[in-house]
Amino acid sequence: MTDSNLPLAGKHALVTGGARGIGAACAHALLARGARVTIAARDAGTLTAMQAALASEFGAGSVHVQPLDVTDAEAVRIGFDQAAGHMGRIDILVNNAGQAASAPLLKTDAALWQRMLDVNLGGVFHCTQAALPAMLDAGWGRIVNVASTAGLTGYRYAAAYTAAKHGVVGLTRALALEVATRGVTVNAVCPGYTDTDIVKGAVANIVARTGRTVEQARAELAAGNPQQRLVHSAEVANAVAWLCLAESAAMNGQAIAVAGGEVM
């Protein structure tokens, strides 16, 4: 049973890429603040496992799972309608689903370029279009896009990913101005290198390409953070959850780096 005194009691949040990593941490943080949560991702098995883990702490009725491919606009529309049917109007959207791939620009083929745009930017577009009308009708909503410090600066050997994340930040700012008087806020959280499966993949690539050890590869990624460490998923999730609170209504169109001072 949700505590009605919690700040997000009565709200329904949908988190894409919610089965693991930052997305799962966001789901946990929103549930802890009283929201009902739908976690969406492509892998139904992983979603079900995460639902069981979250339900064991917050109750079976607090978490809904929605298998979903964010690159498919029609699947998003249908999936969001189904989630709203189960859990009520979507009040909070956390656009977290994403992929990362690295390659020098001259070795970035058209398929890789398009995949980075489709997942990291197109997914945000499709999901936002699906959730926004109900928020505007209600006069209240929170959209938080999980971008990256790659959306605020340049990452070498990751032109496609960096371009997509810059697009997410640009979309955030443009939409924030469109809805500024309608009770809906739109913000981005930009993590630095975070200890997730995506970073594990990056570490594996460094090891394969350079022959460095796993420890050396992790240290290389952490070196850009003045705190000399990888960010924790829960630290990103806490920033996301704060932006969803009623008292954060003046936060709009912001791109907040969660990166230990990497970007100032």
Residues 75 and 32 in one domain: yes
- The stretch 190-194 carries a mean pLDDT of 95
Domain count of the fold of the chain: 2
CA distance 210 to 198: 18
Sheet holding 12-16: strands in order across?
A: 63-67, 36-41, 12-16, 92-95, 141-146, 184-191, 255-258
Residues 53 and 179 in one domain: yes
Is 169 within the bounds of a domain? yes
pLDDT in tens, 6-52: 999 999 999 999 999 999 999 999 999 999 999 999 999 999 999 99
**CB neighbours (10 Å) of residue 19?**
25
Q: How many CA atoms lie within 13 A of 197 on its CB side?
A: 11
Residues 177 and 105 in one domain: yes
pLDDT at 3: 76
Residues 133 and 201 in one domain: no
Residues 111 and 100 in one domain: yes
Is 180 within the bounds of a domain? yes
Tell how far CA 244 is from the center of its chain: 13
Query: Higher-confidence residue: 136 or 211?
Result: 136
The single-letter DSSP state of residue 119 is I
Residues 47 and 158 in one domain: yes
**CB neighbours (10 Å) of residue 136?**
15
Residues 94 and 223 in one domain: no
Of 217, 216, 230, the closest CA to residue 260 belongs to 230
Contact 89, 134 (CB under 8 A): yes
Find the helix or strand (DSSP H, E) in which 143 lies.
strand 141-146
- The stretch 125-137 carries a mean pLDDT of 98
Residues 91 and 37 in one domain: yes
Of 204, 188, 119, 183, the closest CA to residue 149 belongs to 188
pLDDT at 1 over 50: no
Is 165 within the bounds of a domain? yes
pLDDT at 209: 84
- The stretch 237-254 carries a mean pLDDT of 98
CA distance 254 to 175: 11
**Whole-Å CA distances, 133 to 67, 121, 125:** 22, 19, 13
Residues 41 and 91 in one domain: yes
Q: How far from each other are the two terminal CA atoms of the chain, in whole angstroms?
A: 41
Whole-model pTM: value is: 0.94
pLDDT at 2: 56
Residues 144 and 16 in one domain: yes
- The stretch 181-200 carries a mean pLDDT of 93
pLDDT in tens, 40-78: 999 999 999 999 999 999 998 999 999 999 999 999 999
Residues 133 and 222 in one domain: no
Q: Which residues are catalytic?
A: 161
**Whole-Å CA distances, 229 to 54, 81, 101, 158:** 27, 40, 21, 21
Contact 222, 228 (CB under 8 A): yes
The CATH number that applies at residue 127 is 3.40.50.720
Range of the domain at 199: 195-230
Provide Rg for the chain, Cα atoms: 18
Residues 54 and 154 in one domain: yes
- The stretch 184-204 carries a mean pLDDT of 90
